[in-house]
């Protein structure tokens, strides 16, 4: 099952201290959002960690739909000024929270830059035990590599038997 696969991946990573995972892929459609959501749920269910799932695929956000939550406010809204990040979080289940992308208002590079340089990540790191980023793909997206730099531990999702190996090599 997906959750068991996420559980095994997290055990292999075996990361101590504050936890920040960024789930990416070479291409769209490889299961990044499913794996990111699964990792967030496992962190809470198995370890009772307060977990924030961040939809950083700003061009094609999907997590709010997956969990039947509002599209915003989200990252596009919060980068414009001083805010309490907790006001932008939506509960998924238990102690798992979503920071959605929010409705697109700005150019994605600008949003990523402000998100990376502002107080949002430090606020989230203090508030949550684990942060899981749903990142854009590395290929075909200028934002993919930039967004991956925001997390401590990148996780590359590869759809076995579907994703061409040369593209996986190009992505890494």
What is the per-residue pLDDT for 17? 60
| Start-end of H helices in the chain | 2-13, 32-47, 63-66, 75-78, 108-117, 120-127, 142-148, 165-171
Taking alpha carbons only, the member of 73, 93, 92 closest to residue 84 is: 73
CA distances (Å), origin 147, targets 8, 16, 37, 62, 70: 24, 22, 17, 16, 23
Q: Is 107 exposed, middle or buried (0-12, 13-18, 19+ CB in 10 A)?
A: exposed
> What's the pTM?
0.92
pLDDT band at 10 (very low <50, low <70, confident <90, very high): confident
What is the per-residue pLDDT for 40? 96
CA distances (Å), origin 66, targets 11, 90, 92, 160, 172: 25, 13, 10, 23, 28
Kindly report, residue by residue over 48-92, the tens digit of the pLDDT: 999 999 999 998 999 999 999 999 889 988 887 767 889 999 999
What is the per-residue pLDDT for 82? 63
pLDDT band at 18 (very low <50, low <70, confident <90, very high): low
CA distances (Å), origin 90, targets 57, 93, 99, 100, 143: 17, 9, 7, 8, 24
Residue 73: asked if its preceding bond is cis (omega within 30°), the reply is yes
Kindly report, residue by residue over 104-149, the tens digit of the pLDDT: 877 888 888 888 888 888 899 999 999 999 999 999 877 888 888 8
Kindly report, residue by residue over 20-52, the tens digit of the pLDDT: 999 999 998 889 999 999 999 999 999 999 999
């Amino acid at each position: 099952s997906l959750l068991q696969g996420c559980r095994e991946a997290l055990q292999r990573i075996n990361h101590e201290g504050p936890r920040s995972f960024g789930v990416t892929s070479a291409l769209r459609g490889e299961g990044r959002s499913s794996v990111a959501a699964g990792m967030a749920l496992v962190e809470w269910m198995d370890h009772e960690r307060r977990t924030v799932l961040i939809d950083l695929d700003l061009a094609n956000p999907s997590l709010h739909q997956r969990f039947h939550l509002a599209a915003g406010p989200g990252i596009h809204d919060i980068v414009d000024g001083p805010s309490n990040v907790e006001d932008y979080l939506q509960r998924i289940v238990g102690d798992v929270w979503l920071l959605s992308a929010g409705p697109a208002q700005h150019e994605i590079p600008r949003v990523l830059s402000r998100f990376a340089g502002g107080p949002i990540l430090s606020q989230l790191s203090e508030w949550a035990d684990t942060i899981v980023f749903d990142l854009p793909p590395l290929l075909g997206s200028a934002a993919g590599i930039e967004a991956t730099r925001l997390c401590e531990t990148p996780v590359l999702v590869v759809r076995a038997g579907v994703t061409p190996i040369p593209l996986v090599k190009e992505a890494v």
